[in-house]
Amino acid sequence: MSTVLTHDDDGTTVSVASKADGPLGVLASIGTSAKQISEWRRDAVATARKEGHSWAEIGEALGISKQAAWEQFNADIAEMLDNIRTRSGLTEEEAMQLAVEEVRAHRAEQRAKRG
C-alpha cells in the first residue's frame, strides 16, 4: 500500500493518490489521508480567520453551518490561546483582555481594508 498526498505551499491544490492492496489497505490509506487532510483543513481555517473571513464564510466553504465551523475549529484556537497564556505567564483575566484587544484591533483593521 502506498499513499501520496501533496499540498501546494500556497494552499491552492491538494492531491491524494493511493494504491492499496485489498479493502484493509484501502482503509489504512484512507485513515492516513484523513489525518493529513484534517491538518491542512485546520491550517486553512486558521489562515482564513487571519485574513478576516467570517465563520459563516468558512462554514459555507466547508459545507457546514457557521456554528458548526466555530464549534469544530474554535477549540483549536482556544488551545493555542491557552498555550500562549501559559508560556507568557499572564493570568487568565490578562490573557482574555489581551485577546479581546487583539480581536478589536483585527476587526478595525478589516473594516479599514473594506473602506
pLDDT digits (tens, 9 = 90+) for 53-83: 999 999 999 999 999 998 888 876 677 667 7
Indicate if 110 and 66 belong to the same structural domain: yes
pTM over 0.75: no
Q: What percent of the chain has pLDDT over 70?
A: 77
Cell of 50: 487571519
> Quick one: 42 and 2 in the same domain?
yes
Higher pLDDT, 68 or 91: 68
Q: Please check whether residues 3 and 47 belong to one and the same domain.
A: yes
Check residue 5 and give its pLDDT.
60
Pick from 28, 31, 6: nearest CA to 17: 6
In this structure, the dihedral spanned by the alpha carbons of residues 48, 18, 9 and 46, taken in order and rounded to 10 degrees, is: 20
Asked if residue 22 and residue 9 are part of one domain, the reply reads yes
* Residues 79, 112 within the same domain: yes
Same domain, 84 and 43: no
- Mean pLDDT estimate for the chain: 79
In this prediction, residue 13 carries a pLDDT of 65
Provide the residue range defining the domain that includes 107.
55-115
**HSE-up (13 A, CA, CB side) for residue 23:** 0
